[in-house]
Amino acid sequence: MIVGVHVGFNAKADADAGGNRHISQTIHVLSIKEVPKEVARQRQESCLPYAESMGSILSPSWQHACNDYLQWLSASKGLSVNTVKAYGSDIRECLHVLALRGISDLKLVKLMDLRSWLAHEARTHASSSLARKTVVVRSFFAYCADRNGWESDPAARLLTPKIGKQLPKVLNEQEARALMDRADEQAVKALRATALKGDAADRRETDDSRRAQGAGGTVFGSPQQLALERAEAVRDCAIAELLYATGIRVGELTAIDLLDVSEQTRTVLVHGKGSKDRVVPFGVPAQQALDSWLDEGRPVLKNDYSGDALFLGIRGRRINQRQVRIIVHRQATEAGVPDISPHALRHSAATHLLNGGADLREVQELLGHANLATTQRYTHVSLEQLKRRYCQAFPRA
């Protein structure tokens, strides 16, 4: 896959005439022969320590230029903290590769250098990530050229790799029901088990458990351990129910505070991308799961570091996105449904809403999409609704 990219670059470097034609073809190859997402994720995770330390070799002037651009983005574009952080990482990765190529001044960067960086990134990123990185780097160099009065912008002709149009991965309604039922069963099972084992633990406590507790350890089957298991089970159930019921993003879920949830109206205030808030309703099953979490789970995990966070990790702090992804993957495996991510639950919720007859604009509002075209891709997945409408409208259906 990547061999074709490097061959394209070599062919351009050897040819003065018609070089642009070879480069445009190389960029097109990137959009077609992308790295599989799972392979890209594994490669990317293996490079994290390397990526975190790359900023140390950047010159102070480059660091200053990057920080100035990020401050300008935050102040003028109203982007979220996570978005600005991701953009900063993209820019530093690019500057790191340029520094390794022996470039000491941003004014000396050539289009070929940026295309070499893009080929380097193609080894560990999907085409959608490459497109984002290209747009960010192009914007960064345009900012530098404008602020510093450069005669030309080396990134102006850097083409954006094409993103293949793929239908979102979703669960059908039966699979989604099986996933939610399994999560509910696990929570109920944990509540019953802890009640029974808790009574037995109160009646019988061995000398070994006394010594372990005196040493500050947690004993398997002790009341403390049983309470933690119960708290995790009801939390995981509430997370799955709320993700599916609202279709919110995993980052939006982890950012929810206690006061954002209204039990009276069964709505949650969601802090979306670009500091845009929206109110999203949820159903009775999600409300019941939240009640169990708030009554039986959260008080067990709560500590001085919990703050107002709705969902907590095992250490009592606000749960992070990685933990939520692990929870959803595990629940899908236990329920015997296709392995999905929290974002696939979001896709599933949107598709099922459209299948149920929800208006496209309403779904757009619920999901927090700025562009209706983003929501329209779910209409391609809603085949059941299409079939029903076809049978109703066409005389020879």
Return the active site residues. 249, 273, 343, 346, 369, 378
Q: d(Cα 29, Cα 126) in Å, to the nearest integer?
A: 13
Q: Do 106 and 65 meet the contact criterion of CB atoms below 8 Å apart?
A: yes
DSSP bridge partners of 280: 268
Say which amino acid occupies 166: Q
Backbone φ and ψ for 257, nearest 5 degrees, come out as: -105, 170
Query: For residue 279, which phi and psi values (nearest 5 degrees)?
Result: -105, 125
Q: How far apart are CA 21 and CA 46, in angstroms?
A: 35
- Burial of 122: CB neighbours in 10 Å, binned 0-12, 13-18, 19+: buried
Six token digits for residue 379: 């209409």
Query: What DSSP assignment string belongs to 170-210?
Result: ---HHHHHHHHHHHHHHHHHHHHHHHHHHHHHHH---HHHH
Return d(Cα 137, Cα 69) in angstroms, integer: 11
Please give the structure tokens belonging to residue 249: 């993003």
Helices (H) and strands (E) in the chain, counts: 19, 3
Helix (H) or strand (E) holding 235: helix 223-246
Under 8 Å between Cβ of 365 and 278: yes
Cβ neighbour number for residue 4 with a 10 Å cutoff: 14
Contact at 8 Å (CB) between 350 and 247? yes
Tokens of 322: 């990685």
Instruction: Give the pair of three-digit tokens for residue 395.
Output: 């005389």
CB-CB contact of 146 with 294 (8 Å): no
